[in-house]
């Protein structure tokens, strides 16, 4: 749910990063694996990579960005210090691909539960 909220702009990226960093390392790796699958399902393209690097805020020379430039996934196998960068990058790629998918295939409405999410509740305190 959180990953789709991030991709649709219903949850700010900084909040998503905080959530991700609060997970155990094992769970972070599982989230990255899920993100790779989501990117594939949303039909991410190699041509989306430069924009995803720019949106992610990581440098093009960081290992996850270099991997993605070569259209290599498997970021969940990187060292722990690369996981947050990988998360930011894959969320950006998923956002680009999912936005395109929603505008091309779901523009007139769809029954995908993940495309019909309510805005997440906000803490008012």
Predicted local confidence at residue 116, as pLDDT = 47
- pLDDT tens column, 8-37: 999 999 999 999 999 999 999 999 999 999
Identify the residue whose tokens are 């991700």.
Answer: 20
- For residues 123 and 120, give the distance between their C-alpha atoms in angstroms, rounded to a whole number: 10
Predicted local confidence at residue 111, as pLDDT = 54
Predicted local confidence at residue 120, as pLDDT = 55
**Sign of the dihedral defined by the CA atoms of residues 55, 59, 64, 65, in that order:** positive
**Residues 96 and 52 sit within 8 Å (Cβ to Cβ):** yes
The predicted model scores a pTM of 0.84
Q: In the chain, what are the domain boundaries?
A: 2-115
Higher pLDDT, 107 or 14: 14
* Mean pLDDT score across all residues of the chain: 88
**Residues 45 and 98 sit within 8 Å (Cβ to Cβ):** no
């Amino acid at each position: 749910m959180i990953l789709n909220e991030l991709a649709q702009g219903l949850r700010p990226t900084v909040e998503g990063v905080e959530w991700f960093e609060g997970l155990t390392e094992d769970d972070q790796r599982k989230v990255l694996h899920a993100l790779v699958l989501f990117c594939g399902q949303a039909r991410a393209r190699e041509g989306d990579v430069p924009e995803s690097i720019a949106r992610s805020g990581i440098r093009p020379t960081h290992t996850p960005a270099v991997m993605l430039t070569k259209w290599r996934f498997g970021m969940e196998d990187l060292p722990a210090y690369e996981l947050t960068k990988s998360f930011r990058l894959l969320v950006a790629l998923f956002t680009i691909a999912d936005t395109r998918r929603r505008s091309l295939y779901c523009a007139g409405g769809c029954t995908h539960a993940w495309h019909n999410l309510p805005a997440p509740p906000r803490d008012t305190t």
